[in-house]
Structure 1
Amino acid sequence: MKAIESKVLDAIRANPLASQQSLADELGLSRESVAGHIMRLTRKGEILGKGYILPAGQTLVVLGGANVDLTGTSADTFRPGDSNPGGVKQGAGGVGRNIAENLARLGNEVVMVTLVGDDSRGRYLIEQAQEAGIQTQAMVRHSEHATSTYLALNNDQGELVGAIADMAIIEQLTPEWLAERMSLLQSAQTLLVEANLPEATLTWLGEQSLNAPLVADAVSATKAVRLKPLLHRLDLLKVNRSEALTLIDEPASSDLSDEQLILRLLACGVTSVLLSLGERGVRYGDSTQQIELPVPHCDMLSDTGAGDALLAGFVHARHHIESVDTQLQFALLCAAMTLEAPQAVNTRLSATAVLQRLTETTQSSALAESES
């Protein structure tokens, strides 16, 4: 930042409601010069727009989808093509929204950037986000499209057997719409995106000079391909095996090892990879190391949202924990707590709760080793 821009920013911090003319008089500049500096500071994310709103220093910005989740769980063995007795519940969901809520419950300052419909479900999502601690000023109501809805069917073990996603509204998260919110994106400490976003939008993001490191969730093998134009810009990519194979143009039958998969993704320009291994746990890799850890013991009710909690937990831990091994343990425990909840996000999730379980897990492991 240039010295004169720093002076303008300091003057705004001292008096956020000052007019451009009063700032000019104070600094000995012309009003036109001050206006130009303010415009450049806004583009850089140092100012968030009207009223010279200044960004908080530790804000995580999540850009993605927000859905109303309708989840039906069979009371007995699921029978395809038949009516299955069970229960149906409504909750707030969407990959981006789930990540945002997990981050907020872990104690982070989080802004969610998304579109919802100007309908009852849209109002429900905004209210739910506010209750969870998510900042909702960038959750915008769209007058022409309905709120996204995700309909999931689970078997009696809580495992997904099929789903339908009505997410047309997310296609309205266009480059043009986001360009108007560039100051918010630039203010982020970390910017998290997901592959439900339109490919044109992800490509556009890859072309921007963003201040924050980019983190991405591949979502599914079908959607993962949308991230290809963004790979060279990603600080962290979370994928499962099928998504990773799609991104490197390998068939699903490929016999590449997990280690080789990560190396191939790193060769595409990704700085670090979080490879979800499902029941086997998770494998992390960067240019210096690869670490694999198993899933901690938990009593699973539903696997919906576990991957979102894994990524949120790891992003949180990277800001607060130095050891990568411990970061992964923290993230896995976030996922385990989500597996134990009937909804996509465990409302009991908190950094304190996770750290307590981490301590208990460490003590149990140490005791088992001493007895062996």
Structure 2
Amino acid sequence: MNQTPDILCIGSVLWDVIGRTASHMRTGSDVPGRITRLPGGVAMNIAMTLKRFGLQPALLTVIGRDTEGDELIAESQNMGLNCDFLYRSDDLPTDVYMAIEAANGLIAAIADAHSLEAAGDKILRAMSDGRLGTAEAPYAGLIALDGNLTDDLLRIIAASPLFAAADLRVAPASPGKAERLLALLGHPSATLYVNLEEAGLLCQTHFDDSASACTALLERGAHRVLVTDGGRAASEGTAGDVITAHPPAVLVTRVTGAGDTFMAAHIASERQGLDRPAALARALDAAATYVSGETPL
């Protein structure tokens, strides 16, 4: 693929194995449902949504030289995603994520992302070898960064000249890894996308609403931040200026990937020239449509 990417999506690209049921579940439940295998991972979910909004994303990740990896790359290319810059590993398997979702939400999930962790900064080679930039002439476009990368790699990125000129958008980390984003909290061009729980973990406190969480993160040194709170009001803030909007009410049928959809829709909206309130509203609409099951997986 020779088309110049509009944005780099750096991080997890793997197979999502998702079991969904319309029943409520608890520990030990055994219920009927559907099991699907689809391309997933934070970087992949963002890239797929960006593509639907008309952007040309490129993936920077690690994919194993195994059958699962070949199939994942083929599926990505069929969707029009740029795979020219990803790292293929001879000794690391393709990663996989497994989750169970029920009528009462996400029941459990396991992320087998050991290959991404083991690959480390090898996934960034295209940013330093001249294909996408060098330390002396760094990439100057949009980057969507997976907040679930390792502490070491996030610290490298925070201080790296390879990211000095980029418009860096940091994807939601899982709550168990939210504190990894502290390495990027003071980055001068980073926009953090977090939910209310993750914001509380970063600030070591509890927030009742997204606006107060947004304000606190800005006071802690964040350049720009967006805080979501499920079906309640979300907020976006920069330079001490916080705006708030409410998502539309919908029937929730799925949750995995909702935060990634919100982030991608917000990036695409700003790329297309929408102002801050309009971009926030459009992102909330896109996320609500996604969780309602009205858009393709």
Instruction: Provide the TM-score with structure 2 as the length reference.
Output: 0.88
Match of 1:181 among 127, 145, 154: 127
Contact 1:59/1:187, CA 8 A, preserved across alignment: no
What amino acid sits opposite 2:58 in the alignment? V
The reply to whether residue 268 of structure 1 matches residue 220 of structure 2 is yes
The one-character-per-residue Cα deviations of 1:290-341 (angstroms, maximum 9, x if unpaired) are: 2221111434321221110100011111122342111111111221221133
Question: In the aligned structure 2, how far is the partner of 1:235 from the partner of 1:272?
Answer: 7
Matched, 1:347 2:293: no
- Equivalent residues in 2 for 1:275-294 (5 A)? 275-294=227-246
Residue 14 of structure 2: aligned partner? 67
Are the aligned partners of 1:191 and 1:215 in contact in 2 as well (CA < 8 Å)? Answer: yes
Deviations 1:268-304 (A, max 9, x none): 3322111011111421111252222111143432122
Deviation at residue 75 of structure 1 after TM alignment? 4.2
Measure the CA separation in 1 of the matches of 2:207 and 2:249. 29
The two structures, once aligned, show a CA RMSD in angstroms of 2.4
Counterpart mapping for 1:288-303 below 5 A: 288-303=240-255
Residue of structure 2 aligned with 1:213, choices 167, 183, 193: 167
Q: Contact 1:118 / 1:146 at 8 angstroms: preserved in 2?
A: yes
Residue 230 of structure 1: aligned partner: 184
Choose between structure 1 and 2: higher helix proportion: 1
Aligned AA (1:264): A
List alignment gaps of at least 5 residues for structure 2: none
CA 1:197/1:173 → structure 2, altered by over 3 Å: closer, same or farther?
Answer: farther
Contact residue 146 and residue 171 of structure 2 kept, 8 A: yes
| Matching residue of 1:311 | 263
Check the 8 A contact 2:26/2:107 in 1, yes or no: no
Q: Which residue number in structure 2 is paired with residue 163 of structure 1? A: 109
Greater Cα shift, 263-272 or 198-207? 263-272
AA at the equivalent of 2:168: L
Task: Please state if 1:82 is matched with 2:29.
Answer: yes
Q: Is the 8 A contact 1:75 1:87 kept in 2?
A: no
Map Cα deviations across residues 79-127 of structure 1 (whole Å, 9 max, x no partner): 4213222211111110111011111121112111001122222122212
What secondary structure is seen at the aligned counterpart in 2 of 1:138?
coil
Contact 2:15/2:41 (CA < 8 Å) preserved in 1?
yes
Is the CA contact 1:66–1:95 (under 8 Å) kept in the aligned structure 2? yes
Question: SS where residue 200 of structure 1 aligns?
Answer: helix
Task: Extract unaligned runs of 5+ from structure 1.
Answer: 1-53, 349-372
Separation (CA, whole Å) in 2 of partners of 1:191 and 1:103: 12
The verdict on how the C-alpha distance between 1:188 and 1:60 changes in structure 2, with shifts beyond 3 A counting, is farther
**Within-5 A mapping of 1:132-171:** 132-156=79-103, 159-171=105-117
The 1:180–1:129 alpha-carbon spacing in structure 2 relative to 1, beyond 3 Å, is closer
Partner of 1:25: none
Verify: 1:334 aligned to 2:264, yes or no.
no
Does the C-alpha gap of structure 1 residues 307 and 255 become closer, same or farther in structure 2, counting only changes over 3 Å?
A: closer
* Equivalent position amino acid for 2:191 in 1: L
Q: Which moved more, 1:212-221 or 1:178-187?
A: 178-187
Instruction: Evaluate the alpha carbon distance shift between residue 207 and residue 160 of structure 1 in structure 2; reply closer, same or farther with a 3 A threshold.
Output: same
Alignment CA distance shift 1:82-1:307 (3 Å): same
**Relative to 1, partners in 2 of residues 1:134 and 1:289: Cα closer, same or farther, differing over 3 Å?**
same
Deviations 1:46-83 (A, max 9, x none): xxxxxxxx994x62011110121111122423242132
Letter matched to residue 78 of structure 1: M
Deviations 1:7-65 (A, max 9, x none): xxxxxxxxxxxxxxxxxxxxxxxxxxxxxxxxxxxxxxxxxxxxxxx994x62011110
Instruction: Give the structure with the larger strand fraction.
Output: 2
Structure 1: how far apart are the matches of 2:122 and 2:70? 24
Task: Report the AA paired with residue 219 of structure 1.
Answer: A
Task: Tell me if the contact between 2:95 and 2:113 (Cα under 8 Å) persists in the aligned partners.
Answer: yes
Q: For 1:150, give the aligned amino acid.
A: Y
Larger Cα Rg: Structure 1 or Structure 2?
1
CA distance in 2, matches of 1:199, 1:267: 23
Q: Residues 322, 126 of structure 1: CA spacing in aligned structure 2 closer, same or farther, 3 A cutoff?
A: same
Closer, same or farther in 2 for the Cα pair 1:95/1:304, shift >3 Å? same
Query: In 1, are the aligned partners of 2:233 and 2:246 still within 8 Å (CA)?
Result: yes
Residue number in structure 1 paired with 2:43: 96
Comparing 237-246 and 67-76, the one that deviates more:
67-76
Question: 8 Å contact 2:60–2:124 — kept in the other structure?
Answer: no
Distance 1:160 1:308 in 2: 16
Percent of residue pairs identical = 27
